Structures are given as C-alpha cells and as structure tokens.
Chain A
Amino acid sequence: MFSKFKQWYENRHDYAREWKERTGGKVMGCFCSYAPEEILVAAGWLPSRILGSHEPQDVSEKHIFGMFCPFCRDVLAQGLKGRYNYLDGILMTQACLHLRQSYMSWKMHVPVPFQHYIYMPQKVQTRHAVPYHRSELVKFTKALEEFSGIRVSDDDLDRGMTVVNENRGLMRQVYEYRKEPEAKLTGQEAMWMTVSSMWVDKEEHSSELKRVLEQLPDRAPGRDTGARLMLIGSENDDMPFIELVEKVGATVVVDDHCTGTRYFWNLCEHQDDRITAIAERYIRRPACPVKDWEERTRFGHILELARDFQADGAIIIQQKFCDPHECDMPPLRKFLDEHDIPNLMLEFDATTPLGQFRIRVEAFLEMIGQEDLF
C-alpha cells in the first residue's frame, strides 16, 4: 500500500529529473526542514530536502572537520558526488552550525545557479521573531522573483499555503491510523511517506495519500504491533534501523524528529499578510532543539505525542556529535523518566551498526515487556 512512497524514497533523483522534464519547473535543494515551502510552491519551484545516502564516504572529510555530525558530512558528500546536479538552487534556512557547513561548502564547490541563506531567527521565543522572520522571507521571495523573472502574488502564496497544508493534513490523517491498538501501518511505511513528501511534488504526493487513506481503514496489518515505540531525535531516515526495530517485536507508532512530525505537524494559518502567516508557521512549529531556548517547549510536545499514540517507550536516536540534541539529552531523559516513559538512547552514525543496536533494542523491549519470563 505504501510502495509508491517507498519507490519515491528510493529514487529521489530520478523523480526530480523526471519532474523537471515533465513540468519545466525548477528544483530547490533545501538544507533544513525550516525551508518555507509555501513560498517555493507559490513560485512554482519544487522543494527538495537534501538528505544523505547512508553510505560510507570520504569526499567531505577535507571540507568539514570530523568533529561535526555524520549527517552534515553525508549531505555534503551528495553534492560533491554530483548526485544533485539537477538542482537550480540551494536554500539554507538558518539551522545548526553543522548543516550550515554543508551549505557553505556546497556553495563553494558545487556550482548551482541560485543560492540563498535565510537568516532565520534562532530565538523563536521572542515576540520580535515573527516580524523579523517575515522580513527575511520577503527578501527571499524577492530574490526568487528576480532570479526566475516572475512575480509571486498573494494568490500564488494562497495556493502555496493550500497545497502544502493539504499535504500536512493528509499525513496527519494517516498518522491517526497509527494510534489504533493494532497500528495500521509500520513506522517504516510512515517514514517512507513523510520523507518522500520532502521531495515529491506536494499535489502528487497528496493524491497518493488520498488513495492510501481510502484503503487504510480496511487494512489488516498482518503482524503483531508488539511494543509501541516513539522515535525521538535529530534528522533520521535510517531505514535499516526502523526495519530492525520492527522485526524484533515492536512497532514505531510516532516520532519527534525533523524527517517526521517536526517537519509537517502544524499548519500555516491564513492571515491577510501572507508572508507573516508563513513566518509564523515556522516560528511556531515544534522546535528543533537548536531553536528551543530559553524555555524548553519540545518536551511538552513530545509528551503529548507519546500519550496520544500510547507509546510504551521511546528510542532516542541521537546523531553523533549533534550538539543541539546533546544539549537536550539528559533533561529529556529525566523528563521521560518522570512521566514513566521508558527510554533508550542510541548514538547514530551515517551507517548503522545493526548488531550493536540490536542487543540494546532487544534488551530494552525485554525491559519494558516480557513479564512472562518471571
């Protein structure tokens, strides 16, 4: 039922090339899930999140010092290897220092016609964040207009908001089926869906979602849900890991990471000033830890998800060397403990040491269940 998403996930470059040919449109490589997709869609561009390929590589070593996260190095490697040579532009929406370096180096070493850095606020908790972010988005829109020789009207922006919102709403509807006692879909299927939505044309993706939503109510999962787990962490589209977890007696039912709910959870609410509406959507969305200060707003959101989806436990998938997430780790674990959500922390590299993870996951599942042994 989710094979189309899987296919899109596995063939992202073929898809983008084919889309360009079919529509004559332009593709924007986005470095972070904070990219204002509404504006891109309004301008007729295809937003395409740049992710790594989870292969061992040695091309980015000389560009990014090894103390930075494997993800940002994996991302840059994709550019250096020419895998994204169809991009018309690259877009950085101010993220962590790690990912910024992928953008910086890409800009220097991989020629792309258009580049833009949105100096998005890191402090989203000040009342000045929305107006300031608005001004950054206006600059970005102008740059895009100038580059493509078009004008982005309010109608275009309305269409952009509608198209992106529809996609978000449909994915949330699919997530509803993960709440059922026997989850109707696996975590891996959900991840194919959410991650592919980051580079597939939203309307096309939405029509596939509608098709799936028609069939989902009658779907027999054909497997035991087992322990219901939540995944928490930084960027993660590590498919072999989810597959492993779901093979040893568990199902991932919800997540808080930026290739999952953080990316699509909240909608863009209409306002007369469209760009303010868009700015507000990104300022208010579930925060990446890099933007989650002075207050910690993430934890409440995590708890709400865990409760809504009846998670029995959480696996924290920590990207190695990811400072912002590491700065949340002990307080997050304490918070989960206090709310009786057992949790396991695993440190992720670009490639996954499945054997080492397997014992931890199995022991964790034994810990939170398997009363039959006693």
Chain B
Amino acid sequence: MPKYPTEPLKCWKKAKELREKYYRDYASASEKGGLRWTGGAWSFDAIPAGLGDDVYPITGEPYSASIAFNKPFSMRCLEETEARGWARDLCSYMRNYWGSMYLSEFNLGGKYPKPDFAFQDHICCSHGKWYQVVAEYEDIPYFCIDISVGPYNELDEDRLMFVVNQMHESIDWMEKITGRRYDDEKLIEAVRNDCRSTSTWADICVLNKNIPAPLDEKTMYSLYVFGTLSKHSKEVADFYEELRDEVKDRVERGIAAVGNERCRLMSDTQPPWGFLKVFRYLEEFGALSVGSLYTFGLIGMWEDKPDGSWGPRTTPMELGVPMGTRDQALRVLADWSLSRPEWQHFYDADLKSKMMLRIVKEWKLDGVMLHMNRGCEGLSCGIAENRLAIAEADVPVMTFEGNMGDEREFDLAKTRDRIDAFMETMELERVEE
C-alpha cells in the first residue's frame, strides 16, 4: 500500500493546450501579418513584445528538446548537421535545431517556419554562435545581447549598464529591421509578466519542500518549460499562478507525486530527454527527484527570505520599483534576470555548489544524482567541482553520463546499473508492489 495518496494534476490539460498554442501561434504568425523571431530560452523575450501583440518567438532549447523526444527525427537532424561538417560534440540542442532548419522540417509537422529575425542573449559560449549560424543560413537579421557581466553578487552599475545599453541598442535595431514603431507600454507589461512568471515558478518549487513532495521532477519538466517558451506572456504568468494554487492545495491535502516516497533526490542539468523513464525507474525504489537547481533556477527567480530560507524573489511590482519608462523597465529586466540562479556558475562553480547544498538542506534531500551532460557545455560547466563539493558535504552523490539531445551518448542499461548501485549504498531495496 502506498504511503501517500496521489492524483493527477488538474491543470495538465491546460498545460498541453498552452504548449500547442505556443507552437501553433509561431507557425501561423506570418499568415496574419505577424512577426516570428527565434532565439534562446533565456532571451529577453519581453523586449520584442514591444513590437506588437502579433510577435511570436520560438525558443531553441525547448524546441530541440521536443525533437529529442522524437528519436528518428532527432537522428536525422543530428546526422544532417554532421554531414554539413559540424562537430559531433557541439551543443546537442543546437545540432538538433540546425538539423531541423537544414532539413526544412518542423517537428510539429510541415516545413520549418522561417523566422523574421534572431534575438538572443549570450552567457554560454554557444549562445552567440548558435544564431550566428541560423542568421547566416536563413539570411535574417540577428542581434545578441552579451550578459556575461559576472555573478549577481558582484553586480554594479557599470556591469548592469552594459546590459541595459545593449537592450536599448536592440530596440533601435528592432525598429529598423521591422519598420515597426516600438511600444514602451507593451514592453513594461511584458517585463511585469516576466517577473511574475519567474517568481511564481520559484513559489511553486518551494512547495516541493513539503514531505511528501506534491510534484516530481519529471512532471516539473513539463511545467517549467513555459518559462523557457514565453516567460513574458500574460498566459504563462496566469498559468503559473493557477498552478501554484493547485500545488498549494495538493500540499494541504497531503497529495504526493509518488505514493511511495521515501527517498528524496535532486538531479542536475537537463535530463536525457529521450529517456525520462529513468525517473520512473527511481520510483521502483520509492525514490524520486523533487527538482534540481536546473528546474528551480533555470527560469525561477530566487532570494534569501527573512527567515533564512530560499524563496521566490520579491517582484519589482511588490517593491514598488518605478517602471514607467523604457529605461526603467529595461533596468528592472536586466537586474531581475542577472540574479537568475543558473547564470551564476558560469563564473564560479562554488556559487552553484552552495545553492545545490542549500537545496539539499531545505528540500530535505537524501542524495544527489548528477547528469554529466555531454550535450550542454553551459550547464555542465563546473559540474565536476559541484560533485566534489557535494561529496565533501557528506551528501550521497552519484553521476551518470549522457546527453540531453543525442541519444547515441546515453546508455540506459548502464545508467540503471548505476542507479541500482546508488540505491544499494543508500540501503534502499525495491518497493514491493
């Protein structure tokens, strides 16, 4: 008998619809005279929002993850990219994306919808280069904002302004290439939504401190994704508030994600998308991943709370920060975004180790499983040091090698063996059904 009651999420259907609408909107934007742009999941998507309500992005990472689920198509994409001379060890998201572009096939059917422009930000070395290649191939204009100005705890006016100045520059550029007049009101609204979405997502993650956890990480993957698709949109911000209420309700009623929860873990970096069954496998031992710095902090915005815990960052709206002008809105957006937890380890692995250990403590975890992800140089940056720091803190830690978007670099059987061994060291046996 499971220890805890479980039930499916009510807003599951809505999530599915929202996701489908996102890709449909993008694909059909041109028919209605709208604009399509492409860029990264971390792009300042609030900025193009000032061009009008008919401007739709497609963000590369989640799109490529969706390709990775479709193994035969993914394989064709990867091989097409390789046939054009690109190295096989490059970012696997990038290679899937390029492959889809080269083949001119859209993962959701039909031809790959050509974007009108590319708008990216740059913190990982592959970021700026990814859309350089896209812009050259598609022959579209491209702008990329450099955000690699150091960790948030060292942020000062010069560093902030380097980002803000480029944001201003990007708006001038957008007006020029689209011929549209930029609407600051729409920007301000989008920045508010961005702050609301990303803070609310952190709020949802906090609820997972509860035992039993109301969500498991596999489910969270399908939900955090909206923050990577369109964090600036009202739909996403509203959806996250609705989701938060539902998860809160689950906590109050003691609903668990996994009925047999008895071992709480976290992972790290993107999972091997084609093999999420690894997470189901954990459940056979009554183990679950309740999240990771990745699911919490890729999109979620965090801060230290007065009681010393880690919680959602207080929004500029709550603080009454003025946001009436373009410049004020951009400053808010830059400062807000630069505090993103997953942007800190690019300069110092230690900052990430500290956040990870904090999650271990506050989310009451029993162990950590690190995905040594050959597909992502950005999120794997410093991961070996993270492992050492976690082990040094006497937290059980296992690693498994793989690749988020290239199934040729993931070995399911071997990973299962590793999990078995890890469970053994934690003295967990399979749960009798």
Residue positions of A touching B, CB distance < 8 A: 61-65, 67-68, 94, 96-98, 100-101, 104-105, 108, 117, 119, 121-123, 126-128, 132, 135-136, 289-290, 293-294, 296, 320-321, 323-324, 326-331, 333
Contact = CB atoms under 8 A, between A and B. Distances in A.
Contacts of A68: 377, 380
Interface string B117-153: 0000010111011101101100000111110111000
A97 B378 contact: yes
A330 B125 contact: no
B89 interface: yes
Contacts of B235: none
A126 B346 contact: no
A121 B146 contact: yes
B54 interface: no
Given A62-B387, A123-B122, A135-B158, 16 more contacts: A65-B383, A97-B377, A108-B385, A123-B166, A128-B162, A128-B165, A289-B129, A293-B144, A294-B143, A320-B89, A323-B89, A323-B129, A327-B129, A327-B133, A330-B84, A331-B136
Given A67-B380, A326-B89, A97 B124 contact: yes
B374 interface: yes
Interface string B365-389: 0000000101001101111110110
The listed residue with most B CB atoms (<10 A of its CB), out of A127, A289, A296, A326, is A326
A289 B350 CA distance: 27
Contacts of A122: 122, 125, 128, 146, 148
A21 to B, nearest CB: 34
B347 interface: yes
Interface of B: 84-87, 89-91, 122, 124-126, 128-130, 132-133, 135-136, 142-146, 148-150, 158-159, 161-162, 165-166, 169, 346-350, 372, 374, 377-378, 380-385, 387-388
A296 B132 CA distance: 9
5 contacts: A61-B384, A65-B380, A119-B159, A126-B169, A330-B84
Nearest to B370: A65
Nearest to A136: B158
B85 A119 contact: no
A100 B347 contact: yes
Contacts of A98: 377
Nearest to B170: A126
A328 B144 CA distance: 17
B90 A327 contact: yes
B230 to A, nearest CB: 24
Contacts of B161: 132
Given A327-B126, A333-B85, A126 B388 contact: no
A208 B414 CA distance: 58
B144 A100 contact: no
A323 B91 contact: yes
